[in-house]
Amino acid sequence: MEQMQTLPKLFDFGTMLQKTVSTNGLAGQDIISVNQFDRDKLAYIFTRSHEMRELVERVGGCDLLKGYVLACLFYEPSTRTSASFIAAMERLGGDVIPITQGVQFSSVSKGESLPDTIRTLEQYSDVIVLRHPEIGSAKLAADYASVPVINAGDGAGEHPTQALLDLFTIREELGRIDGLKIAMVGDLRYGRTVHSLTRLLMQYDDVSLRFVSPEILRLPMALMNELIDRGFKVRETHNVADVIENADVLYVTRIQKERFSDPKQYEEVKDCYEITMELMTRAKEKMVVMHPLPRVGEIHYHVDDDPRAAYFRQVRNGMYVRMALLAAVLGKA
Ligand code: NCD
């Protein structure tokens, strides 16, 4: 497989002794945008994520991050992102302050500002994972924090750790990224996972991108122009049937109800796509269906039994990638 780096191994499973290894420049860094990752760093994260998988499959976890504390601060709902960061930290022996059950139970509900909350949490923790409804919030938090801040979604902006696990999943499923035909379906306007993944894919060669959305949910113009300026083959359509036969990856997303200012507009587009077994019969035998989840009707439950449905494997990969990232920013991998 390509895009792997040969690195000194992080673990010796014989003795369980930890090795001293390079962190590829990620130690102490905030993770705010996918633009921070070049192919070298991506290859590094993929290699480490593989090692994390091996670790979990063989022995469940280790004490690499023993003595370290992660503060998990979520101002928006989450199941996978919060749980996988918590699982990642705990499998590496670290501890977690989880503020994920609704900030209504924290001082945020008393009107505390984001900078004050961040400057408080950094007193207790070594790294902060933040999800917040406003674009730019992760950057703002990072400007105040003296510990690394990891962006777990800033409104309709970016979701860099999701994009890393998405890319890792494509590589695991298909063995490469260069040369693939990738179709993104759904809410391309507000879907932050789409924005981050599209940016990461710009680093790869000969990738063809197909964007399938209703007119009002097209990919933001700035991102589209960036793709065109960089010479990418791009096509936009309203219809999944136009792309399903040629796609190597079908990346399906939820219509982001919470981002609409006009509920009537949401009602008009909410059920616009459903991937069914009937559609799947027209897809390649080696195509993969991905979804950052949660799904709310975009993929029929019958599709789950198709071996090309990769979304739950994608969920598991998220834990390995977040283990790799936490170890790297804490200077331990
Ligand atoms: C996504 C998100 O929060 O942006 N979910 C996730 O992190 N796995 C996608 C979504 O909410 O639709």
Per-residue pLDDT reduced to its tens digit, 177-190: 999 999 999 999 99
Closest approach atom of ligand 1 to CA 80: 8
CA of 2 to the centre of ligand 1 (A): 28
Predicted confidence (pLDDT) at residue 96 exceeds the cutoff of 90: yes
What is the predicted pLDDT for the residue at 333? Answer: 77
Cβ atoms of 167 and 173 within 8 Å: the answer is no
- Please say if 110 is a catalytic residue: yes
Closest approach atom of ligand 1 to CA 192: 4
Among protein residues, the one with the nearest Cα to ligand 1's atom 6 is: 292
Among protein residues, the one with the nearest Cα to ligand 1's atom 8 is: 292
Which residues' Cβ are closer than 6 Å to ligand 1? 80-81, 153, 159, 162, 192-193, 253-254, 256, 292-293
What is the predicted pLDDT for the residue at 95? Answer: 98
Confidence of residue 2 (pLDDT cuts 50, 70, 90): low
Strands 17-18 and 11-12: antiparallel
- Please say if 81 is a catalytic residue: yes
Q: Give the integer Cα–Cα distance in Å for 145 and 191.
A: 27
Does the model's pTM come out above 0.85?
A: yes
Average pLDDT (158-171) is 98
Q: Average per-residue pLDDT in the chain?
A: 93
Average pLDDT (239-267) is 96
Predicted confidence (pLDDT) at residue 328 exceeds the cutoff of 70: yes
Average pLDDT (208-230) is 97
CA of 16 to the centre of ligand 1 (A): 35
Q: Is 129 exposed, middle or buried (0-12, 13-18, 19+ CB in 10 A)?
A: buried
Predicted confidence (pLDDT) at residue 33 exceeds the cutoff of 50: yes
Min mean pLDDT across 47-51, 104-108, 113-117, 155-159 is at: 104-108
Cβ atoms of 303 and 158 within 8 Å: the answer is no
Average pLDDT (72-84) is 95
Position 238: which residue type?
H
What is the predicted pLDDT for the residue at 14? Answer: 62
